[in-house]
Chain A
């Protein structure tokens, strides 16, 4: 069974600085997808960034980028130029890409990010 581990329950960053959130996962599959979701105090789950495992190039979305290390099974999220609105719980998630899979997401336990003004 696949598992996702986020070892940092809480992180803090100064406004305008850069922060990296860690995520590791365990799987025997070779084809899968990885996601970072943001959950602000409103509770709404917002997709931040996604990575296809077959792509070697790291995904980027504006100030958000990932460091995907497939051999190490590591998928960290880097937030550059942190803003007050980035304060939220961040979840790393895994999804199988194999045929017949049902798009189920497996989540980590989350990292609560605080942004200090």
Chain B
């Protein structure tokens, strides 16, 4: 199993450009998440999905869109990149909440995005 993979690992964008970050998981997890990590701020949730075809906003959703057309993939889009979106982006996945078992989140390796 590859676990959670992210594409690309690094990217530099100019202000106003668009791009899509791809997250893929091969563990058949229902839930998937996108976080961003900024110095001194920890990881903050951007958007998440509790199943194929569903998405929801997290703590810092502005400027991002997401899609979950297939269970194994969760895409994060930046329509018009801004320097404030310079960050490291992490994708994670987990099975659904279960009162009988504590499931952890599995993280991808991260994507470092720089917007100039």
> Using a CB–CB distance below 8 Å, which chain A residues touch chain B?
4, 6, 9, 33, 35, 42-45, 47, 50, 52, 91, 97, 99-110
Contacts and interface: CB of A to CB of B under 8 A. Distances in A.
Chief secondary structure at chain A's binding surface: loop
Contact of B97 (A91, A102, A109): A102
B30 to A, nearest CB: 9
Q: Which A-B residue pairs are the 3 nearest by beta carbons?
A: A45-B107, A107-B42, A43-B110
Contacts of A43: 88, 109-110
B94 A103 contact: yes
A91 B43 CA distance: 9
Contact of A50 (B40, B50, B58, B102): B102
Q: Which of B58, B104, B109 has the most CB of A within 10 A?
A: B104
A105 B45 contact: yes
B43 A107 contact: yes
Contact residue range for chain B? 20 to 34
B58 A101 contact: no
Interface in B29-79: 31, 33, 35, 40-45, 48, 50, 56, 58
Given A43-B110, A44-B109, A45-B90, A105 B103 contact: no
Contacts of B105: 103, 105
12 contacts: A4-B42, A6-B42, A35-B104, A43-B109, A45-B92, A91-B43, A102-B97, A104-B33, A104-B48, A107-B42, A107-B44, A110-B42
A109 B102 contact: no
A60 B112 CA distance: 33
Contacts of A107: 35, 42-44
B96 interface: yes
Contacts of A103: 31, 94, 96-97, 103, 105
